[in-house]
Amino acid sequence: MSERIATYAEFWPFYLREHSKPVTRWLHFVGTSLGLGIATVAVRSGRGALIPAALVCAYGLAWVGHFGIEKNRPATFKYPLWSFLSDFRMLGLMAVGQLGPHLERAQAGASLPPAPAASKAV
């Protein structure tokens, strides 16, 4: 029987190692973004029937990455809250080009290239 991770500080590097391949991280990014978009439309339009589509987008694309690419079991099965929070943390860091150092510290495989520097006005 495997031991449970006791703290979020220990979980975060584990989470990143479970997302070691860039394609998996991008599937999470796209799936969660689409899921949030669909959920927003569902709430704003009062069309609750769209919520399952939001979940299928978010979880479906993420699970393709885990089962098909990483060949691992999604952490959300064992650590649902920490995984949920970490998805948004990872996506936020990806969006601002700051995930690389976290991946390196976690020894999580291929790093993301740095975000392009903004050009300076002369």
70-112 pLDDT, tens digit per residue, is 999 999 999 999 999 999 999 999 999 999 999 999 998 754 4
Nearest to 76 by CA among 67, 88, 86: 86
Share the mean pLDDT of the chain: 90
Helix (H, G, I), strand (E, B) or coil at 84: helix
**Which residue range is the domain that position 81 belongs to?**
16-106
pLDDT range class, residue 117, cuts 50, 70, 90: low
Q: Is residue 8 situated within a structural domain?
A: no
Query: What is the DSSP code (8-state) at residue 21?
Result: S
Q: Is residue 73 situated within a structural domain?
A: yes
pLDDT range class, residue 1, cuts 50, 70, 90: very low
How far, in Å, CA of 38 to CA of 52, rounded?
A: 9
Q: Is residue 122 situated within a structural domain?
A: no
Stronger pLDDT, 27 or 121, i.e. the higher one: 27
Q: Is residue 33 situated within a structural domain?
A: yes
Stronger pLDDT, 22 or 116, i.e. the higher one: 22
Mean pLDDT of 38-54: 97
Q: Is residue 45 situated within a structural domain?
A: yes
Both tokens assigned to 72: 């691992």
Task: Look at residue 119 and tell me whether its pLDDT is greater than 80.
Answer: no
Q: How many domains does the chain have?
A: 1
Q: Is residue 113 situated within a structural domain?
A: no
Q: Is residue 31 situated within a structural domain?
A: yes
Nearest to 32 by CA among 101, 83, 107, 108: 83
Q: Is residue 114 situated within a structural domain?
A: no
Phi, psi of 78 (to 5 degrees): -105, -30
Name, in order, each residue with C-beta under 8 angstroms of 101's C-beta and a sequence gap of 6 or more.
none
